[in-house]
């Protein structure tokens, strides 16, 4: 089988595998793009026959992907999640090559083929004042500004992932109930509410949108001039440009910070972790609990204000104990 035929065969097999396992269309499209990028990289470096690529070349590709973090057009860094998806695509390729006996051993199998998540762990949510300033500073007098405001209002309103916003279809939205179906990770769909503000901007944007036919809500213009659904990397780039413009740029703020902010602000206002888990679409509550670490100061204030032992303690101890306590503190 010729190299080009092998590449197409593997791409078809990966698509069939992911479809049978009910991966979302958005995720399958992303893996397809990443596989093609890997093929393009291999061809440019004269590694046209992917069956002959070994561990050394695969580690070289991993470094190439890591390098994209600082070379990304527009200055916005690729997230660790995006880079790992690119590497996952390569894993799928070599799993299929091995499964169909096109290679004797899987070169990825014994490699540490994942980029560690140290940078993303430092992301923080925006405060209520910061998110208000950010959203209200976007100029909505142009169709592009209106689209951007609508995207970020919707992310903040419904705690959506950027990929979920990009895959949102007009038919998913129920304006009467102010809710939408969200096509989540691994085909885990959920229904989430939409705020009054986000719903109003959605109506304005859809009414003002040039293309009235396409089923996807948010469209971008490709280099060839025609419209297509926006990609996550484009939304991230727009977000980073606004951060610079509004003098808010910081390595610990990303598009995910907006979603993180929704969870944090809901928890701060008394929402239960279980309800926030449902909104975020987390499979495990442990993932949601990670968002609660930012509330420690608030927890201490509530504890000190409301816990009965905080108020009764010194009423129950005698004066001699207090004198001894003062003595040790002074020492």
For 274-322, the pLDDT digits (tens) are 888 889 888 777 777 776 655 555 555 655 566 555 555 444 445 555 5
Could you give the 3-state DSSP secondary structure of residue 135? helix
**Is 161 among the catalytic positions?**
yes
**Is 311 among the catalytic positions?**
no
Interhelix angle 80-99/3-20, rounded to 10 degrees, is 110
Predicted pLDDT of residue 170: 93
Q: Which of 7, 209, 259, 260 is catalytic?
A: 259
Predicted pLDDT of residue 193: 93
CA 284 to chain centre: 16
Which residue, among 221, 242, 228, has the nearest Cα to 167 in the 3D structure? 228
Cα-Cα-Cα-Cα dihedral sign, residues 221, 218, 84, 290 = positive
Q: Three-class SS string for 54-86?
A: CHHHHHHHHHHHHHHHHHCHHHCCCCHHHHHHH
**Is 259 among the catalytic positions?**
yes
**Is 123 among the catalytic positions?**
no
**Strand (E) or helix (H) holding 191:** strand 189-193
154 CB-near residues (< 8 Å, 6+ apart): 160, 165, 168, 194, 198, 201, 202
**Strand (E) or helix (H) holding 179:** strand 179-183
Q: In this structure, are residues 188 and 281 in contact, taking their beta carbons and an 8 Å threshold? A: yes
Q: Which of 62, 147, 256, 260 is catalytic?
A: 256
CATH superfamily of 128-257: Intergrase catalytic core (1.10.443.10)
Domain boundaries, the chain: 3-119, 128-257
pTM of this structure: 0.59
Q: Split the chain (331 residues) into runs of 10 and give each run's mean pLDDT.
A: 81 87 80 91 83 90 78 57 88 90 87 69 82 95 93 95 91 94 77 93 89 82 67 89 93 90 88 87 77 56 58 50 53 44
| pLDDT tens figures, 115-159 | 776 544 467 899 999 999 999 999 999 989 999 999 999 999 999
**Strand (E) or helix (H) holding 16:** helix 3-20
Which residue, among 78, 285, 282, 271, has the nearest Cα to 182 in the 3D structure? 282
Q: Which of 7, 92, 149, 161 is catalytic?
A: 161
What secondary structure does DSSP assign to 218-271, as a single string? SEEE-TTS-EEE--HHHHHHHHHHHHHHTT---TT--HHHHHHHHHHHHHHTT-
Q: What architecture is the 3-119 domain classified under in CATH?
A: Orthogonal Bundle (1.10)
**Is 275 among the catalytic positions?**
no
């Amino acid at each position: 089988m010729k190299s080009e035929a092998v590449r197409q065969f593997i791409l078809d097999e990966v698509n069939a595998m992911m479809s049978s396992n009910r991966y979302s269309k958005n995720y399958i499209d992303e893996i397809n793009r990443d596989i093609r990028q890997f093929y393009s990289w291999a061809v440019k470096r004269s590694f046209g026959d992917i069956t002959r690529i070994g561990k050394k070349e695969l580690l070289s590709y991993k470094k190439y992907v890591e390098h994209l973090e600082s070379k990304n057009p527009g200055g916005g860094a690729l997230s660790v999640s995006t880079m790992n998806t690119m590497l996952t695509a390569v894993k799928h390729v070599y799993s299929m090559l091995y499964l169909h006996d096109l290679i004797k051993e899987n070169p990825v199998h014994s490699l540490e083929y994942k980029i560690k998540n140290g940078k993303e762990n430092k992301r923080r949510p925006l405060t209520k004042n910061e998110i208000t300033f950010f959203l209200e500073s976007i100029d909505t007098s142009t169709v592009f500004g209106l689209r951007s405001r609508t995207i970020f209002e919707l992310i903040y309103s419904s705690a959506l992932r950027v990929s979920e916003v990009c895959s949102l279809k007009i038919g998913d939205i129920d304006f009467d109930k102010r809710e939408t179906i969200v096509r989540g990770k691994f085909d885990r769909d959920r229904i989430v509410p939409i705020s009054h503000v986000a719903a109003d901007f959605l109506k304005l944007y859809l009414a003002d949108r040039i293309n009235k036919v396409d089923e996807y809500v948010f469209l971008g213009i490709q280099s060839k001039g025609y419209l297509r659904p926006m990609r996550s990397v484009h939304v991230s780039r727009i977000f980073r440009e606004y951060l610079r413009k509004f003098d808010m740029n910081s390595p610990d703020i990303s598009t995910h910070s907006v979603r993180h902010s929704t969870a944090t602000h809901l928890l701060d206002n008394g929402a239960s972790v279980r309800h926030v888990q449902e909104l975020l679409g987390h499979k495990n509550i442990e993932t949601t609990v990670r968002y609660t670490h930012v509330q420690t100061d608030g927890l201490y204030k509530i504890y000190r204000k409301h816990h009965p032992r905080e108020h009764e303690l010194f009423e129950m101890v005698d004066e001699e104990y207090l004198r001894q306590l003062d003595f040790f503190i002074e020492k």
